[in-house]
A and B are shown apart, each in its own frame.
Chain A
Amino acid sequence: MSDEDPLARCYDAHAKGLFAYLLSLTHEEEDARDLLQETFLRLARQPDLLDAARSERAVLFRIAHNLAMDFHRRRTVRDRFLQSQGAQDSIPFAPAEDPDEAAFRAEAARALSDLPPEQRAVVHLKLWEGFTFEQIARVLEISPNTAASRYRYALDKLRIRLRRWVENSSQTTAGTMKP
């Protein structure tokens, strides 16, 4: 790893999170990869983007989010075609060996992809990036209250969709804790 190169340092620090975020928004690994590259191209062309930033991670996520939204608007027609052809979306979670866990991840990915993109973005940034609502608001250019309400709505939907899995999980955990 070349720490002298700021671009490489940024990649090593943020590429993993950015890729997962882009994959969550695009559902396609190739598209997420292209947008990840475009994010770093933007950064390379305008290195001063990070100079005045309080959080370079937030700036990078903001660039990636804007790219993903542009991409989302452009590919609407192609999406409809792929959906009509029964194309399988890429799952944003790592594969699991345990069949139950793999099934849960697949169901969670489906539940996430059924959320509107704006709610999915908030959920991802909150759950897997650990952003506060203020940080999410800056990334998505919305108010913190809007971010919080989107998160609540999305979590309610996920709770309903994944209730069975969570209940099974808690029962299993309770069972294993018994002597």
Chain B
Amino acid sequence: MNLQDPIETRLRRLPLQTPAPEWRAAILDAARAAASSESPHQAPTIHGLWRNWLQAILWPSPRAWAILAGCWLAALTLQWSLPASDSSLPTASPPTELAQRWQAWQERKRYMAELLRELAPRSDEPSQPVPAPALPPRQTLVEPLQPDESSIAA
């Protein structure tokens, strides 16, 4: 290395900024507090491990991950909000509460149908349409004109 390089020499002579003197006490106090709050070989907590893992995964592009998570949530919400009878969709299990409500409603519907069937009379009459009463033989409303005997007599 060329130590006589003027640019190196000039730059090397530049004095650097120094930390403010009042920082010393604050930084050392914080460091001592951190040291006393933790045992030297304390095992990392689950929360700390989870946070580190999450941070390692998300930091390169947190916004992209957030958008992806949002898309997934929107897709799942859309799927759950569709009617269950739609056979074109895969039969994913809905959340537990929704599934229970749906099952209870189906049972109630079936029970009501059975109840109605039980209450219905066994004979077919009420269910059969009542036959219309037989009409009397057609009567003519206007009697056919017959020659009146008196008039004839007259």
Give residues in A with beta carbon < 8 Å to B: 5, 7-8, 11-12, 15-17, 19-20, 23, 29, 33, 36-37, 40-41, 43-48, 70, 73-74, 90-94, 104-105, 108, 127-128, 155, 158-159, 162-163, 165-166, 169-170
Contact = CB atoms under 8 A, between A and B. Distances in A.
Contacts of A105: 14
Which 4 A-B residue pairings sit nearest by Cβ, starting from the closest? A20-B16, A44-B31, A44-B35, A19-B19
B134 interface: no
Contacts of B152: none
B151 interface: no
Contact of A93 (B7, B16, B20): B16
Main secondary structure of the interface of B (DSSP, over half): helix
Contacts of A17: 16
Contacts, number: 102
Contact of B5 (A11, A73, A155): A155
A44 B32 contact: yes
A130 to B, nearest CB: 9
A157 to B, nearest CB: 10
Contacts of B23: 33, 36-37
A173 to B, nearest CB: 10
Interface of B: 5-8, 10-12, 14-20, 23-24, 26-28, 30-32, 34-35, 38, 40, 59-60
Contact of A48 (B10, B32, B40, B59): B40
B31 A128 contact: no
Contacts of A159: 5, 7
A16 B19 contact: yes
B19 A15 contact: yes
A127 B8 contact: yes
A75 to B, nearest CB: 11
Contacts of B35: 7, 44-45, 47
Contacts of B24: 11-12, 15
Given A16-B16, A48-B40, 20 more contacts: A7-B31, A7-B35, A15-B24, A20-B16, A20-B18, A23-B16, A23-B17, A33-B23, A40-B27, A41-B30, A44-B34, A45-B40, A47-B35, A93-B15, A93-B16, A108-B11, A127-B11, A159-B7, A165-B10, A169-B6
A86 to B, nearest CB: 22
A40 B10 CA distance: 32
Nearest to A23: B17
Nearest to A124: B16
A29 B116 CA distance: 81
A43 B55 CA distance: 22
A47 B19 contact: no
Contacts of A23: 16-17
